Amino acid sequence: MKKYIILLVSICSFIAGCTSSDTDGTLAVDTTQVKKIDTIAPVKIDTTPVAAKKTTLSYTTDDKVNLLLFEKFSLGISYEQLKEKLPTVKPLHAEDFNEQLGAKGLQESIQEITFLSYKGKLEFNFKNDVLIRYSIVFNESNEKRGTTLYNQILDYYSNELGTYQPVNIEEDNYYTQINMWYLNPDYLLAVYNLNTGNLTIAAQSNKPGQ
């Protein structure tokens, strides 16, 4: 009997050891720090191409008058009528100072002007005392600046007169760009010669190419 009591005590002691506070049956909490994942969204890179800034034509009050000479007077007028509209016009002489051309009724008036900050030439052409054409010619020797300026001129007149029409040119003259607007009944031209750097704005009575 005594042996049974000792055995029972041993069993109870064993059970008590298994359920001690160190192993009381509860799950142990893992206190190891969990590395937090950064959930901040990455910065989104805008891949939309940035449009190049479009510059506009810079001009003075005098430039605007010359840009829109076709509003000041019409082709088909006489030299005296032109002088009434434009008192500063220079006297007439035979075209290219060629008396044979002058005898055929071809005359011109040429004067120097400052146009869009360039030294330029304003020319009026007459046939039998009838104004058939006028032109403003100036030069930009730098092709990049010349191309930019020409495009600005095209934009300026497109805003004033609507879309321009390209003029077909001869194959051996591919250095020249010509665009026109119909003024009814006349034609306004913007010409750029990439070879010489000359830029021309002209109004004429006949359609280009005819």
pLDDT tens for the chain, residues 1 to 210:
454 445 454 554 544 454 444 444 444 445 555 555 555 555 565 555 554 456 799 999 999 999 999 999 999 999 999 999 999 999 999 999 999 999 999 999 999 999 999 999 999 999 999 999 999 999 999 999 999 999 999 999 999 999 999 998 766 667 899 999 999 999 999 999 999 999 999 999 999 876
Other residues' Cβ atoms within 10 Å of the Cβ of residue 165: 12
What's the token pair of residue 191?
């010409």
Beta strand segments in the chain, E: 93-94, 106-115, 118-127, 130-139, 165-166, 176-182, 187-193, 198-204
Question: Number of helices (H) and strands (E), helices first, in the chain?
Answer: 6, 8
Distance CA 51, CA 19 (A): 77
Distance CA 190, CA 179 (A): 5
In this structure, whether the domain defined by 61-204 belongs to CATH 3.40.1000 is answered with: yes
